[in-house]
């Protein structure tokens, strides 16, 4: 059990606001690189942290999509999300293998899933990451705030070598939002990329609140991307500097749609509306919401 709630009528109706967005852009659907599906016990623990609004969250954070795994998959399908990740992230040594095994089983039954895995700075990490890549993992996720480690931790040297060689992208929560600690911020990513410039990193939340330093990394390194997760929404606590928008527009091929579904306090469509009101143009929206994800990770199954 995941302490899931039944799907209320207003949530079931969210698709009516999402579908016209991508249909109006002439897209086959949406490509969301920042979605979470976790084992039930881990999901309960994560949601408890958000429910408590404790020091790692810093504010009240009601969760809109607290349904079962099956119901959440059905919701994403009803929205027209054609590809989505599961993004497990390890918070301590010894957990990554369990998360990765569960994610493998989950992905096997959901063809839209971008096969996702995680790792942690621990002995043997390079070996299990290499095995996951060989087994078909398409995307990794790490979270330095939660895991409390630097990206250039020596225990990760072998991991980064594997991922640099394979070109497998890594969604990386390194910004100091929602609450920073000694491990967040752009410094360790800058050091890492200096050593491994070919890494395909996807900076979660556009690097909030350190928007400009992470933007500069995307401008400077060929394979660094940014995801939009929660940024520009009314709920988000870190406003994006308006003077950076022209540079974000210029990075059109490197910006990816992310939402943080299901752990968001507003309807899924609000992330899309917040991107549209930037007024960066339909071509930018098409690239962000579909084309860039396909280029980075592949289209997967044809749309139904």
**Distance between CA atoms of residues 237 and 162, nearest Å:** 36
**Distance between CA atoms of residues 132 and 304, nearest Å:** 29
* C-beta of residue 119 within 8 angstroms of C-beta of residue 140: yes
- DSSP secondary structure string for all residues of 251-290: TGGGEE----BTS-SS-THHHHHHHHTT---HHHHHIIII
pLDDT digits (tens, 9 = 90+) for 69-80: 999 999 999 999
pLDDT digits (tens, 9 = 90+) for 263-289: 999 999 999 999 999 999 999 999 999
What integer pLDDT is reported at residue 54 of this predicted model? 78
What integer pLDDT is reported at residue 233 of this predicted model? 97
* C-beta of residue 258 within 8 angstroms of C-beta of residue 217: no
> At 217, which CATH number?
3.20.20.140
pTM for the full predicted model? 0.95
Per-residue pLDDT at 302 exceeds 70 = no
Chain mean position to CA 51: 21
Tell me whether residue 304 is in a domain.
Answer: no
Q: Where are the alpha helices (DSSP H) in the chain?
A: 9-12, 15-24, 40-52, 69-79, 96-108, 125-134, 144-147, 157-166, 187-195, 211-220, 245-250, 269-276, 282-286, 292-297
**Distance between CA atoms of residues 231 and 243, nearest Å:** 15
**Distance between CA atoms of residues 239 and 258, nearest Å:** 17
Q: What share of the chain is helix, strand, coil (3-state, %, to 5)?
A: 45, 10, 45
pLDDT digits (tens, 9 = 90+) for 7-58: 776 787 999 999 999 999 999 999 999 999 999 999 999 999 999 987 888 8
Looking at every residue in the chain, the average pLDDT score rounds to: 95
| Residue 170: strand pairing partners | 140, 201
Tell me whether residue 303 is in a domain.
Answer: no
Tell me whether residue 27 is in a domain.
Answer: yes
What integer pLDDT is reported at residue 57 of this predicted model? 86
Collapsed DSSP state (helix, strand, coil) of residue 124:
coil
Tell me whether residue 28 is in a domain.
Answer: yes
Tell me whether residue 113 is in a domain.
Answer: yes
Give which of 289, 234, 284, 281 is closest to 257, Cα–Cα: 289
pLDDT digits (tens, 9 = 90+) for 189-238: 999 999 999 999 999 999 999 999 999 999 999 999 999 999 999 999 88
For the chain, count helices (H), then strands (E): 14, 9
Q: Which residue has the higher pLDDT, 58 or 110?
A: 110
Tell me whether residue 302 is in a domain.
Answer: no
Domains contained in the chain, number: 1
pLDDT digits (tens, 9 = 90+) for 118-156: 999 999 999 999 999 999 999 999 999 999 999 999 999
Q: Which domain holds residue 259?
A: 9-296
């Amino acid at each position: 059990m995941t302490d899931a709630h039944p799907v209320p009528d207003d949530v079931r109706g969210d698709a009516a606001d999402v579908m016209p967005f991508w249909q109006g852009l002439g897209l086959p659907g949406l490509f969301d690189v920042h979605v979470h599906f976790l084992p039930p016990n881990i999901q309960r623990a994560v949601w408890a942290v958000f429910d408590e609004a404790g020091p790692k969250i810093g504010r009240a954070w009601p969760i809109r999509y607290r349904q079962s795994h099956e119901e959440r998959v059905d919701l994403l399908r009803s929205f027209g999300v054609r590809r989505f990740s599961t993004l497990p992230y390890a918070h301590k040594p010894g957990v990554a293998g369990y998360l990765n095994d569960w994610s493998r089983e989950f992905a096997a039954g959901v063809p839209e899933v971008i096969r996702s895995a995680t790792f942690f700075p621990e002995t043997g990490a390079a070996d299990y990451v290499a095995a996951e890549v060989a087994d078909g993992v398409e995307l990794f996720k790490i979270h330095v705030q939660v895991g409390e480690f630097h990206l250039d931790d020596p225990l990760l040297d072998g991991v980064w070598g594997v991922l640099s060689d394979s070109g497998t992208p890594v969604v990386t929560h390194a910004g100091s939002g929602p609450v920073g600690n000694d491990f967040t911020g752009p410094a360790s990513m800058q050091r890492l990329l200096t050593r491994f410039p070919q890494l395909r990193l996807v900076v979660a939340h556009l690097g909030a609140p350190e928007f400009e330093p992470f933007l500069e990394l995307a401008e400077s390194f060929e394979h660094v991307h940014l995801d939009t997760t929660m940024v520009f929404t009314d709920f988000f606590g870190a406003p994006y500097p308006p003077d950076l928008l022209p540079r974000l527009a210029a990075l059109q091929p490197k910006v990816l749609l992310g939402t943080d579904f299901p752990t968001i306090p507003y309807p899924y469509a609000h992330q899309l509306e917040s991107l549209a009101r930037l007024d960066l143009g339909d071509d930018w929206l098409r690239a962000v919401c579909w084309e860039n994800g396909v280029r980075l990770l592949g289209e997967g199954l044809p749309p139904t």
